[in-house]
């Protein structure tokens, strides 16, 4: 009876995923692979799922570019889209190219466009899906320029299996760069959004020059054509445009108003995979940033973060801030023995035995405590951020060869003088008036603390070069600045390392 009861209790306990599974998943990008396969199955619903998945794994089109480029009128979408298509070998898909399709839907859309009526969402979605299913888009990829135009269109395309790998937004306003979570994605295929202030867009619109032969867009101030023949063609077109400049400004403002009403819904449809670029800068810079983004591939990884740095560098504070933001487990190694002492496990009992007899806990036992803590389900599921360890090179090597090897390492850099100054302030040693009023016993205690900090600093400096060799990919962050600035630098680097890697 007792055996049956124990079996039932075990059957209802949550399944514990071994740490080595997470390591393997990170190394081979398993999470991204599974998400892509499940997404494709849900969209296509094949009759033979196994055969379909085998073909999917062999599909050479997995890494072709599939990009959505969004932004207000006159922001430079078409210019950027043309350059990206030339660079990536992708098909440039615009509203104009959709209207050129020889089909019943294309004919209906052309008729509406000639009558200056808006193309219905369902018709536009049908046109986009039909165009992207053609062999050139399937084999070489595509860039949707200014499409979709509404949240409903974006959702309809997603339901139909049109899921971009990159979605971008270019802006001259202040927007968050990439909307991400560290461990999970609803969709793992990113987009690019361009935007700018109204004054910037009006100026660009007024100076716009179009080559009627090639369709290339130039500007009379910022991007004049180099070819004389192209400049002549653009000049003729420019004179035509200038004649109706006042009406053009009013029309652009109306278009901008309509865009602003729709942009929030569109960006929310791609919020997990959206990249925002500032369009109020030279076009070459916008292009370089866009290409760098499009040459990355998203992947989900469980964060295992190691913070290294001398005493006073702010490891504890930064670990807490990052853990709070990303729901990681904050593992402070200086507090591990206290955690183990209160834990009912076998390792906890071993630690209590030493502490109750006022004996130093051996290093071997400390490592056991460390490993058991990182193998707990909360660390395996949510990831962890570790600080105040490793203490020496042997600890570091042990960590790198264990199942709990970190996948992001940061060195907080700080000079010795600043380290001592910070620890002095922490222990009220910087205020000389307090020192003068302190009792003799307090002064001795303060001197002991200063000596301990100096010793700890010397030990860290001794091992710094070795730690950098053990963790050669560690990112160095300047810790001699405001804690919020340090946090933002760590956050930016952590996001980049967690979610992207170059093709």
d(CA 109, CA 125): 11
Tell whether the torsion through CA atoms of 384, 388, 393 and 395 is positive or negative: negative
Burial class (CB in 10 A: 0-12, 13-18, 19+), 206: middle
Structure tokens at 325: 């933001």
Q: What is the mean pLDDT of the chain?
A: 75
Q: Which residues touch 14 (CB under 8 Å, ≥6 apart)?
A: 377
pLDDT at position 319 is 93
d(CA 252, CA 118): 17
pLDDT at position 223 is 66
SS3 328: coil
**How does pLDDT run across 126-158, given as a tens digit for each residue?**
999 888 888 888 778 888 888 888 888 888 887
SS3 252: helix
Q: Which helix (H) or strand (E) holds 104?
A: helix 104-114
pLDDT at position 181 is 29
pLDDT at position 83 is 87
pLDDT at position 317 is 93
pLDDT at position 182 is 31
Residues of the chain with confidence (pLDDT) below 50 = 169-190, 239-246, 429-441, 498-503
Structure tokens at 49: 């799922």
pLDDT at position 164 is 67
User: Using an 8 Å Cβ cutoff, are 126 and 105 in contact?
Assistant: yes
pLDDT at position 51 is 85
Q: Dmax over Cα atoms in the chain, in whole Å?
A: 95
């Amino acid at each position: 009876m007792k055996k049956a009861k124990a079996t039932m209790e075990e059957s209802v306990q949550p399944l514990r995923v071994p740490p080595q599974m997470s390591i393997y998943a990170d190394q081979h990008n398993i999470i991204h692979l599974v998400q892509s396969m499940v997404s494709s199955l849900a969209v296509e619903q094949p009759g033979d799922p196994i055969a379909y998945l085998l073909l999917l794994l062999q599909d050479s089109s997995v890494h072709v570019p599939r990009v959505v480029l969004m932004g207000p009128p006159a922001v430079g979408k078409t210019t950027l889209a043309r350059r990206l298509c030339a660079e990536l070998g992708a098909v440039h898909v615009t509203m104009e190219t959709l209207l050129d399709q020889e089909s019943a839907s294309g004919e209906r859309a052309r008729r509406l466009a000639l009558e200056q009526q808006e193309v219905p969402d369902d018709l536009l979605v049908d046109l986009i899906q039909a165009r992207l299913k053609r062999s050139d888009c399937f084999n070489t990829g595509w860039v949707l320029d200014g499409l979709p135009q509404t949240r409903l269109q974006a959702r309809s395309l997603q339901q139909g299996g049109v899921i971009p790998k990159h979605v971008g937004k270019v802006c001259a306003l202040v927007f968050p760069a990439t909307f991400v979570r560290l461990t999970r994605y609803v969709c793992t295929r990113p987009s690019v959004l361009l935007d700018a202030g109204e004054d910037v867009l009006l100026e660009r619109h007024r100076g716009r020059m179009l080559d009627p032969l090639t369709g290339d867009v130039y500007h009379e101030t910022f991007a004049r054509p180099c070819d004389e023949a192209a400049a002549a063609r653009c000049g003729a077109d420019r004179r035509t445009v200038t004649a109706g400049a006042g009406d053009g400004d009013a029309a652009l403002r109306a278009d901008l108003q309509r865009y602003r009403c729709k942009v929030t819904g569109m960006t929310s449809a791609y919020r997990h995979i959206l990249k925002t670029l500032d369009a109020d800068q030279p076009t070459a810079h916008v292009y370089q940033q866009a290409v760098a983004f499009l040459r990355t591939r998203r992947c989900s990884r469980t964060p295992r973060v190691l913070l290294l740095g001398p005493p006073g560098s702010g490891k504890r504070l930064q670990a807490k801030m990052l853990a709070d933001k990303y729901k990681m487990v904050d593992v402070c190694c200086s507090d591990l023995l206290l955690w183990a002492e209160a834990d009912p496990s076998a390792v906890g009992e071993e630690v209590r035995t030493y502490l109750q007899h006022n004996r130093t806990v051996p290093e071997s036992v400390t490592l056991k405590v460390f490993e058991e803590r990182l193998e707990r389900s909360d660390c395996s599921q949510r990831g962890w951020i570790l600080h105040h360890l490793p203490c020496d090179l042997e600890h570091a090597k042990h960590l790198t060869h264990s199942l709990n090897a970190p996948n992001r390492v940061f060195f907080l850099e700080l000079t010795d003088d600043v380290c001592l100054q910070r620890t002095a302030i922490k222990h009220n040693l910087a205020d000389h008036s307090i020192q003068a009023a302190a009792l003799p016993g307090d002064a001795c205690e303060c001197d002991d603390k200063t000596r301990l900090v100096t010793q700890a600093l010397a030990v860290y400096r001794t091992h710094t070069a070795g730690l950098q060799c053990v963790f050669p990919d560690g990112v160095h962050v300047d810790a001699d600045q405001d804690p919020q600035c340090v946090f933002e630098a760590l956050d930016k680097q952590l996001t980049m390392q967690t979610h992207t890697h170059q093709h």
